[in-house]
Homo-oligomer: A and B are copies of this chain.
Amino acid sequence: MRYIGVDLGGTGIKAGVVDERGEILSKGSARTGQERPYQAVIADIAALCERVARDANTPLGDIKAVGVGVPGIFDPKTGRIPFCANLGWHDVPFVSEMQKRLPLPVFVGNDATVAGYAESIAGVSAGTASSVFITLGTGVGGGIVVGGKPYSGAHGVGSEIGHMILSMGGEPCNCGNRGCFERYASATAVIREARKAVAAHPESMMLARCGGDPARMNAKIAFDCAKEGDAAALEVFNGYVSALAHGIVSIINLFDPEVIVLGGGVSMAGAFLLDAVREAVKPLVLFKDMGCARIELARLGADAGLIGAALLGKE
């Protein structure tokens, strides 16, 4: 059986035909054009779905369902997207608008949730029944899989891992609270701390690597310099790893999944980050003689969203 998966982002739309094991059979993309009315965006999504089906030589009648990952929340009871900041959408009747244009069942999930689901079917957590996927990007997103199924909670507002409170009263967050996990574990947090570090230590190689302009700082520069032994960068890196480890321990103590998967831009630091995080988590877990979640790097990269969205149709 075949499925269409759509990864709907603020800038671009990706879609593809995917088989039941999560293999991509065809793939295409389009500009989101999120400044347009939602009807126009949804018409382009539907057209892209038809195009990738043709590219995979698959008549729509042989497609079981279309799954769409969105950077927001979805209400499965109404089929509407109540809120999606990156698209500027409020209360969009997504499923009915899609079905006006495509004669297929439509499923919708949060983008991080479907990416985590994809990893649990075809990626690093394949074959596990429970996993938590953490996207370390501009913010921190999360995808929870329980009993082999994507889990969005009772009201569709769960798996917002970036907004666990890690440091009550701490750094102010865009959400209005203080001390959210993403204030410490996102690329944004690395950049903030690296800028502080070069202000205090202008001799740090981080400053030279961003051409003397802290406005050009990014997480890769900070972690690359840490890898090369720059003291100020190492301090930024160690602080980041500690915060990430504390958040992971909260997830382990609460949810105890089989695997925790690190994805998103910051995770591109690879083994340097992974090894440090594993070491930092070890002394923090509650029951040191019991097993606890493996920590792994995501494997599917930029295709995870598309694959996971497609596989929503398997349920």
> A168-B167, A250-B250 are contacts. A286–B142 as well, Cβ < 8 Å?
no
**In the complex, A254 has a CB within 8 A of chain B:** yes
> A157-B253, A250-B165 are contacts. A175–B289 as well, Cβ < 8 Å?
no
A237 smallest CB distance to B (angstroms)? 17
- Docked-complex contact A256 and B158, CB < 8 angstroms: yes
**In the complex, A249 has a CB within 8 A of chain B:** yes
* Range class of the A interface residue count: 35 or more
- Docked-complex contact A257 and B154, CB < 8 angstroms: yes
**In the complex, A152 has a CB within 8 A of chain B:** yes
- Docked-complex contact B129 and A154, CB < 8 angstroms: yes
| Cβ contacts under 8 Å, A286 to chain B | 157, 160, 163, 175
- Docked-complex contact B253 and A163, CB < 8 angstroms: yes
| Cβ contacts under 8 Å, A284 to chain B | 177
- Docked-complex contact B290 and A73, CB < 8 angstroms: yes
- Docked-complex contact A159 and B254, CB < 8 angstroms: yes
Report the Cα distance A305→B101, complex, angstroms: 54
- Docked-complex contact B254 and A161, CB < 8 angstroms: yes
| Cβ contacts under 8 Å, A63 to chain B | none
- Docked-complex contact A290 and B158, CB < 8 angstroms: no
- Docked-complex contact A154 and B287, CB < 8 angstroms: no
The complex is assembled from copies of this chain, and their number is 2
Report the Cα distance A82→B246, complex, angstroms: 24
Most chain B CB within 10 A, of A130, A251, A255, is at: A255
| Cβ contacts under 8 Å, A184 to chain B | 168
Report the Cα distance A198→B252, complex, angstroms: 37
Residue of B75, B165, B256, B289 touching A247 (CB-CB under 8 A): B165
- Docked-complex contact A256 and B168, CB < 8 angstroms: no
Q: In chain A, residues 62-104, which have Cβ atoms closer than 8 Å to a Cβ of chain B?
A: 73, 75, 82-83
| Cβ contacts under 8 Å, A287 to chain B | 73, 82-83, 157
Q: In chain A, residues 148-193, which have Cβ atoms closer than 8 Å to a Cβ of chain B?
A: 151-161, 163-170, 175-177, 179, 184
